[in-house]
Amino acid sequence: MPTIKTNHGDIKIELFAEEAPVSTENFLAYAKEGFYSRTIFHRIIDGFMAQGGGFTADMNRKETKEPIQNEAGNGLRNDKYTLAMARTSDPDSATSQFFINTSNNDFLNRDTCQDGVGYAVFGKVIEGMEVVDLIGKVATGVQAGMQDVPNESVIIESVEVD
């Protein structure tokens, strides 16, 4: 089970390889190559989610692999403390970025999502919920033309896979 080590504490996660094989393998591939080390949670919206895994602390976007297929139809729900793949308006655009739901976000599920596609859940937090809660409450502002950026970097020091 992977551990997301942050400058706010550790978050241990369980991955749903059976329900979301493409997303799980994608996340693990990035983790095993050290891609997530020294990236940040660059978008945090209190009561919604914390998104990370794509930018460095100086807001430079990291180069990623090819996008993956969206697995939002896997039956998993965007409930509090689940991890889902971040994407653009293109359903099959997810690469390295993921988010942790900090509340139940039913409107992101395939059956209720405005775009009819949804966001693919691929894991859940099993230890470190208090860390997620702390991260979800950090003060944010505008930086590099982006909104909801933490005023002080929330750094992913590493993602360790045991």
Longest Cα pair distance anywhere in the chain, in angstroms?
38
pTM score of the predicted model: 0.97
Hey, what amino acid is at 104?
N
pLDDT category, 113, cuts 50, 70, 90?
confident
Report whether pLDDT(99) > 90.
yes
Distance CA 4, CA 153 (A): 15
If one counts the domains in the chain, the total is: 1
Q: Taking residues 73-96, what's their average pLDDT? A: 97
| 6-59: pLDDT as tens digits | 999 999 999 999 999 999 999 999 999 999 999 999 999 999 999 999 999 999
Tokens for 28? 């693990």
Mean pLDDT of the chain: 97
For residue 103, what is the DSSP state? S
Which pLDDT score, from 0 to 100, does residue 11 have? 98
Which pLDDT score, from 0 to 100, does residue 148 have? 98
For position 30, which CATH number holds? 2.40.100.10
Specify whether the CB–CB gap between 51 and 41 falls below 8 A. Answer: yes
Report whether pLDDT(114) > 90.
no
Tokens for 5? 């080590």
Report whether pLDDT(116) > 90.
no
Domain, as residue range, for 154: 3-160
